[in-house]
Amino acid sequence: MAKKSGGLRFQPSGGARAPQVPVGKKQRLSIERLANDGRGIAFVEGRTWFVSGALPGEEVEARVQGARSQVVEARAERILSASPQRRPEPCVHARTCGGCSVQHMPHADQLELKQRQLAEQFSRVAGVQPQRWAAPLVGPEFGYRRRARIAVRWDAKARRLDVGFRVAASQGIVAIDDCPVLVQPLQPILRALPNVLRSLDKPQAIGHVELFHGTASAILVRHTAALGEEDLARLQAFAEAQDAQLWLQGSGEPEPFASAPELGYRLERWNLQLSYRPGDFVQVNAPVNEAMVAQALEWLAPQADERVLDLFCGLGNFALPLAREVREVVAVEGVQAMVERAEQNAAGNGLDNVRVVRADLAEPLADAGWAQGGFAAVLLDPPRDGALQVVRQIGALGARRLVYVSCNPATLARDSAELLAQGYRLSQAGILDMFPQTAHVEAMALFEKP
C-alpha cells in the first residue's frame, strides 16, 4: 500500500473566508495518501478532502457529501486513473452501501491499514510501542457476518417500503439481493425478506429487522405499532419457511413469537455453548471470535491454581473458557440482564467456579467484596469508550498480567498510558480482523509487571 509521510495541511486562519463547498459538487482530485479510516486524502485550494473509495496515486472524480471549514468529505464516483493496488469490489453495491468501506483494497492492504492505525495511536497517545507485534488474527474475508441489521423505511409519498442497508453517509437505503460478507444461512432470508415485509397490511409499522445465526437462525422484527394477527401470521409463516425463529420487539425487550430452542453459539475448543437473546451483544465473526478467545488465554497464561478477573464479561465469552483452566473466575458486568445470562451460561455448561457479579465499574474496585483477595491476572473487553476508570484502579488488585481486548485503538492507547504509569509494560499487541472489508480495528494488548 502506498504511503506518504507528513501531517495534514490545513488552511491557516485569518484573511478572507473561502466560500463553502456545496454538497453534491463534483471535483477532480489527485489522491496523495490514506487516512487511518481508509479514505483517500487530497488537497485543493487550502482544503483537505477525505474521499471514500479512493487510493493513493489515483485521479478521481468525487462528489461532495459534506463540508465544514477547511475539511471536505466526498465519495469517489469515477476512477480516472487507478492505483495498481486497486481491486474490483466483490460486491456490486460496495460504492453505495455504507457497510463495507474498503472492498477496493486487497485484504493484505486492509490489514496493513489497521496495523498502522493501532501503531500510530500507541505512539501518539501513549508514546509507546509493544515489545513484540503479534501477527494479525484473521479469518475468512467474506461470509463471516452472523448478525446484520436491515434498514426499513416507509415512504409515505410513494407508498413504498424500502428495505436494505443504509447508503454511505446518508439516510437512504440501498436494496441488497446478496451480501458477500453475510454468512450463507442468512442469505436466503435477506433475499426473501423485502417481499414479505411489503406484503404486510401495515408495513409502515416496521422499524427495522435484525438477522442472527448461531445454533439456529433468528429474525427480530422491531415494530413501532402493534401488528395485526394476519401480519403476525405472515411473518411466522415466513420464518418457518426459512427455518428461523421469529422474535418481536415493541417498546419492551425482544420476545420470541413462539416457543423455540434457545439461541446460542459454540466455542468448540472448550466444548462450550453460550446462549443469547436477540439484542444481546455477540461478536459478529465466529471464527475470529474463537481465535481471539484462544489468543487471549494464551497471552494471559492462566494457571490451574489462580483466581482470574474478567471485566465487562457480557455473556461469558472469555469467562467460561477461562473457567476451564483456573481455580476461580470472577466475572463482572454492569448490565443485570447480561449478569443473568452469564450465570445461566456457566450453569448450563456445568461450571461451578464462575462467580458473576453486577457492579458499576466506575466505582472503586478494591472496596468491593468480590475484589477481596486480589487476582493473579485480569482480562477486560470494554465498549468503545474504553475503561479509564477501571484501569486507574487495576494496580490495587495485585494482578501482574493483564489482557486488554479493544474495539477502539484510541481509547486503548489512552488507557495504555495509565497502565504504563502504574508500572506495567506493553509486552505485545496485535490487531484482530473482526470486520474484514471495513476499516474498523479491533486489537488485543498484553500488559505485564516485571
Active site members: 407
> Are 365 and 397 in contact, with CB atoms under 8 Å apart?
yes
Q: Is 222 within 8 Å of 208 (Cβ atoms)?
A: yes
Short-list 260, 262, 185, 193, CA closest to 221: 193
Closest-CA residue to 52 (of 173, 167, 181): 167
Give the 3-state secondary structure of residue 278.
Answer: strand
75, 53 contact by CB (below 8 A):
yes
Distances from the Cα of 179 to the Cα of 100, 183, 423, angstroms: 10, 9, 47
Q: How far apart are CA 47 and CA 42, in angstroms?
A: 8
> What are the distances in angstroms from CA 115 to CA 193, 360, 438, 441?
37, 33, 13, 8
Q: Which whole-number Å values give the CA distances from 401 to 15, 302, 396, 398, in the listed order?
A: 55, 9, 13, 9
Q: Which helix (H) or strand (E) holds 61?
A: strand 59-68
287-292-293-294 Cα dihedral, nearest 10 degrees: 90
Strand partners, 81: 59
Q: Is 14 helix (H, G, I), strand (E, B) or coil?
A: coil
Counted residue by residue, the chain has a size of 450
C-alpha–C-alpha distance, residues 281 and 205, integer Å = 25
Q: What whole-number distance in Å separates Cα of residue 6 and Cα of residue 390?
A: 35
Contact 354, 346 (CB under 8 A): yes
Burial class (CB in 10 A: 0-12, 13-18, 19+), 122: buried
